Amino acid sequence: MKNHSLSVLSIITTMCLFVSLNLMGQNKDLPNVIILATGGTIAGSAESGTQAGYTSGQVGIETMIEAVPGIKELANVTGEQLSNVGSQDMSVAIWIKLANRINELLATDDVDGIVITHGTDTQEETAFFLNLVVKSDKPVVTTGSMRPSTAVSAEGPLNLYNAVAIAADTKAKGHGVLVVMNDQIHSAHGVTKTNTTSVQTFMSPMHGLTGAVLYGKHEFYHEPHGIHTTNSEFSLDGVTTLPRVDIVYGAVDSPADLIEASIKSGARGIVIAGVGNGNMNAATLAACKKAAATGIKVVRSTRVPTGYVLRNAEVNDDENGTIASDELNAQKSRVLLMLALLKERSTEEVQRLFYTY
Ligand code: ASP
């Protein structure tokens, strides 16, 4: 026990030293911002500046920082390479590593804000996950780009500049995790990717923008919706993985046996990306009711890009044992349900979480 405490203490001391050494020699008047790089198109490269094909996650964080003129005038910037993947390969294992590192860094007085560089494909999921498990009100900002670093008019450097400017600003405290792309500030709760290739891809259709940013100068319009970070009831203490939750997509005559197949493969929760207001065909609803009766949590979300999924609208949730996703799209519903399933919870309790986060 004693040896264990000693080794924990020495690890903590080494880490504190590592952080302070990294920041040594930097400007004491500037805030300290750490950039945690995970990959994505912002770190992508192609053979020519005008081709559509490229490979994500090729460029290291130091090169990315060097590509941003003036970034070091905003903050003392230190980069750490956490992973280097296209965000289609983002994983629960990287999420947990990322969240633990953020919590560790923000717990020290040496770090004022965090920027995470990330692919755009799953950025909204990572931002929402972090929004629920980061235990600090200091700024945490995710960013990325749609064009690889080698493209003509690559927008990654300006996105990174803007993200650092916001992470360095104490006014960004208490807003939860923010997504900064293309001169816009979005909340993790509200943001979604809406276009496969356009630079203007992220939107917040339900609540609107959280703010705007222009060459680092920024303004916040309103507080993000939903409980987050320091007020969130979720914690990753002792957590090494998350329960499996599958998304089943609704369409005309879609097969109901996908639900059973998911459960057989180990899913403890199912999210329906339903048609319209979280609707599904009769066979799928019957399969959901059967699954819910055995304790599987079934959340009705929607494949429609905007709008609420209302409890007991066309589907009687009380009768079927299902949960309405309220404002969350299918991919964010999955994140919330994975965290909800870390603990034994009743269906009513999980419904409360969907109204709250
Ligand atoms: N597939 C890339 C990714 O998500 C797309 C991007 O970053 O824009 O990593």
| Domain edges within the chain | 27-231, 245-356
What atom of ligand 1 comes closest to residue 40's alpha carbon? Answer: 9
Q: What is the pLDDT along the chain (357 residues), one digit of tens a residue?
A: 444 544 554 455 445 545 544 555 589 999 999 999 999 999 999 999 999 999 989 999 999 999 999 999 999 999 999 999 999 999 999 999 999 999 999 999 999 999 999 999 999 999 999 999 999 999 999 999 999 999 999 999 999 999 999 999 999 999 999 999 999 999 999 999 999 999 999 999 999 999 999 999 999 999 999 999 999 999 999 999 999 999 999 999 999 999 999 999 999 999 999 999 999 999 999 999 999 999 999 999 999 999 999 999 999 999 999 999 999 999 999 999 999 999 999 999 999 999 999
How many C-beta atoms lie closer than 10 Å to residue 290's C-beta? 17
Which residues, judged by CB distance below 6 Å to any ligand atom, belong to the binding site of ligand 1? 40-41, 56, 86-88, 119-121, 144, 146
What atom of ligand 1 comes closest to residue 201's alpha carbon? Answer: 8
CA of 247 to the centre of ligand 1 (A): 21
* 136 to 104, 132, 139, 187, 229: CA distances (angstroms): 10, 11, 8, 16, 6
CA of 153 to the centre of ligand 1 (A): 17
Is 41 catalytic? The answer is: yes
What is the spatial distance between Cα 326 and Cα 332, in angstroms, rounded to a whole number? 11
* 28 to 75, 105, 290: CA distances (angstroms): 10, 18, 61
Q: What are phi and psi of 197, to 5 degrees?
A: -130, -15
Residue 188 C-beta-side C-alpha neighbours within 13 Å: 32
Residue range 245-356 forms a domain whose CATH class is: alpha beta
Marked catalytic residue, from 13, 14, 38, 41 = 41
Indicate if 245-356 has the same CATH topology as 27-231.
Answer: yes
What atom of ligand 1 comes closest to residue 88's alpha carbon? Answer: 4
CA of 1 to the centre of ligand 1 (A): 45
Determine the straight-line distance between the first and last CA of the chain, rounded to whole angstroms.
39
Query: In the CATH hierarchy, which fold is given to the domain comprising 27-231?
Result: Rossmann fold (3.40.50)
What atom of ligand 1 comes closest to residue 41's alpha carbon? Answer: 7
CA of 352 to the centre of ligand 1 (A): 33
Beta-strand pair 177-181/184-187: antiparallel
